[in-house]
Amino acid sequence: EVHLVESGGGLLQPGRSLRLSCVASGFRFNDYAIHWVRQAPGKGLEWVSGISWGSGTIAYADSVRGRFTISRDNAKNSLYLQMNSVRGEDTALYYCVKSSGWYYFDSWGQGTLVTVSS
Amino acid sequence: QSALTQPPSASGSPGQSVTISCTGTSSDLGGYKYVSWYQQHPDKAPKLMIYEVSKRPSGVPDRFSGSKSGNTASLTVSGLQADDEADYYCSSYAGSNIVVFGGGTKLTVL
């Protein structure tokens, strides 16, 4: 069974940095692209970033490009999201998501909550 | 990277069918056969229901079906059941390895 467990969320002030982590199990991690998708409280889903199995392909939403960095460590079955210069609009539940094709997301974690507030 | 357009709400009675639309542009939804649909119950993680316009993952009932015409995709839920009441989101590939979601549709089973 696929398991994706996110961690690292918390409360931080605007302009600060935070690193999210996701540990995967139940599948061959280094065979799949993994993404971050976020959901602001009471709002819809927003794709944030994705990384291919070997990190050769990386993409970001316009809203985070230049501030967030996605990375992965296949030896540790782990995905990361370095969040810099955070803003209030980055407040959301951040999901780690596995994709079998880059374009769709077949397994989701339970999310880690990031709150940006002064 | 504009969000896809979904109606905020939809409803139907048990046993009936309901269709939820998702509209994009020729640069995203209309340009690719990579439309997906997700179901999200309150306080739960989303669940993949349809991928590549009309394919169903293992375990998803065949009451759920997807289609696309031009810049609009549709999710049809037939034989509505109480447990189908949830939020539904569409998504599409938008080129350059970008994925966009719709704003979501709250489906109410009357």
Residues with Cβ within 8 Å of A84's Cβ and at least 6 positions away in sequence, in order, are A17, A67, A68, A69
CB A98 within 8 A of CB A32: yes
What would the pLDDT profile of B34-78 be if each residue is shown by its tens digit?
999 999 999 999 999 999 999 999 999 999 999 999 999 999 999
| Measured distance between the N- and C-terminal CA atoms of chain B, rounded to whole angstroms | 35
User: Chain A partners of B104 at a C-beta cutoff of 8 Å?
Assistant: 44-45
Is any Cβ of chain A less than 8 angstroms from the Cβ of B99?
yes
Of A105, A104, A107, A89, residue with least CA distance to A39: A89
Q: Judging by beta carbons within 10 Å of its beta carbon (0-12, 13-18, 19+), is residue B96 exposed, middle or buried?
A: exposed
CB pair distance less than 8 Å for B103 and A44: yes
* pLDDT on residue B60: 97
Band of the pLDDT at B4, cuts 50, 70, 90? Answer: very high
* pLDDT on residue A5: 98
DSSP H helix total and E strand total for chain A: 0, 11
State mean pLDDT over A61-70.
97
Percent of chain B topping pLDDT 90: 97
pLDDT at B2 over 90: no
* pLDDT on residue A15: 97
Is any Cβ of chain B less than 8 angstroms from the Cβ of A61?
yes
State mean pLDDT over B81-104.
97
CB A116 within 8 A of CB A99: no
CB pair distance less than 8 Å for A103 and B51: yes
* pLDDT on residue B104: 97
User: Chain A partners of B98 at a C-beta cutoff of 8 Å?
Assistant: 47, 59, 61
CB pair distance less than 8 Å for A105 and B100: no
In degrees rounded to 5, what are phi and psi of residue B62? -75, 5
- Both tokens of residue B38? 């997700």
User: Chain A partners of B48 at a C-beta cutoff of 8 Å?
Assistant: 104-106
Cα–Cα dist A72/A76, whole Å:
8
State mean pLDDT over A73-80.
97
Is any Cβ of chain B less than 8 angstroms from the Cβ of A55?
no
What would the pLDDT profile of A4-55 be if each residue is shown by its tens digit?
999 999 999 999 999 999 999 999 999 999 999 999 999 999 999 999 999 9
